[in-house]
Amino acid sequence: MPPKKGQTCVYAYPDWCKGCGLCVAFCPTKVFELGPTGKVQVVHEEECINCGFCELHCPDFAIAVLPREEGCAADLHVAQEIRQKMKGYQKG
């Protein structure tokens, strides 16, 4: 069975992104683009198949992919907390 699209919320944190383009280059469904500032932007969230490549390979922890079960706003808050902790580990 092929992966289902539209089952996730995809967040990109431009303040953390250094514009390496890994997510853009390797996303199989072209969810991302680099914007005018050179930072990642989510442009086709509905195409995400939750393969996890972007989240696992982002060197800056600038991408979060979360299930779209009960809405994404609460999940975004949790993701931001996790990212903040991870950022602390990077510096330490």
Per-residue model confidence as pLDDT tens digits over 49-78: 999 999 999 999 999 998 877 566 655 566
- Please state, in angstroms and rounded to a whole number, the distance separating the CA atoms of residues 33 and 80: 21
Instruction: Note the pLDDT of residue 66.
Output: 86
Predicted pLDDT of residue 43 = 94
Count of alpha carbons within 13 angstroms of residue 71, beta-carbon side: 3
Domains and CATH numbers, the chain: 8-91 (3.30.70.20)
Instruction: Compute the average pLDDT of residues 17-21.
Output: 96
Residues 6+ apart with CB under 8 A from 92: none
Count of other CB atoms within 10 angstroms of residue 13: 18
